Structure 1
């Protein structure tokens, strides 16, 4: 059960008509904390991994102290450490930021000849019925290369994420695996990552991380259109006191980009 010390304080509900060919559904994208809080150095939350999995079995995030990348797939949570090795975190491990959904694909497409992450984003973007909704995207295939990153656990006092990310460890995987993707519209800038955000998990569940680039010949993409978005804010003094004013777009770009290319 969820802790009684936390309260859902921000709910954005989007009930929009769908184009023909899309099933009516009511999936809710659940998010804990905000991306700007993470950028500002709020790396400790009070949501457990077990509680997060109750909210959704597909998604992404990180663990307290920015201890690697959190990947949620098929109802299980995985932790990709710096260097790409994956383990299953304990149910009582804590999360400072995460976004999950109970994935229910409404559309399936074959993708071919994807050579960059930008190319993948363009191909998925062409499938979206609107830029003003949220989407969960699952891509299963055999990859020529997936470049990922993860960051080693930090210790307080925490530096801003744009500084910490300079310590990221980049690893490249190939073979069968899954891309776990979320798309957020531009109007949630500061709350979530506008556009696409991808994590990767190898089919053997032994490797993964935050995706910086990828290439593959063919893969299957499944798309879930999400009608509502719920944000739960941390109920602690650190969140209450942190300065979230100002535009953190430059910091977000620095965090998301591929250090070898200077972009995502």
Structure 2
């Protein structure tokens, strides 16, 4: 089992007070995987320090040239190694499934891409002009957010909707439930409809912050802009070169661990244009 999957199983038991202090094979596995991951990260950093490529123009080189402490660098590497690629690949999988099912939106996006790019490769500067593509990405993230549930902790005593929450209390934010709330998104909340984002994310629902795939505030996702850029870039490139449909053998079975992925895979048939 991967660290993410083991951690997810451990978190499911966190609702039982004191359960994390009871020795069992699952928590032992989680501790072992964490130690192995930390060991690999430290070895990678040590190797870079001892090589001539310390200032190499990549993410690790950027961290090493910063004023961060050793522990902060290790923490950043840990975050990006666990959340820096899988969430993006999962979002792309859902986008392919949705566009392979709703091919009319695939056609609209491709028409826009051909008109704007005129056969050229997509670039950072031009991606902002692809309005339909951006609408599709936002709707994909609404229906299948990278983290369906996130945890937050109250720093001080607060009163929320008549409920007293003591400082230090950890509570869960059900992002997926918020994204499917009909009071916020209308009766078609469960349907794929990128047009709801035609006027931007803040006007897509009945509340300006109902769309929160990366959450908000100082603890929002650090890699939001990078993730959006990479997702749009990959989709634009694929749509330029391929048409695709969801395979007849695809079974819709979203699987929730720490992320929400296609439980039985994303079977999509691609055809080169």
TM-score bin (small chain) = under 0.3
TM score, norm. by length of structure 2: 0.23
Give the TM-score of the pair, scaled to structure 1.
0.23
Larger RCO (CA within 8 A; separation ≥ 6): 1
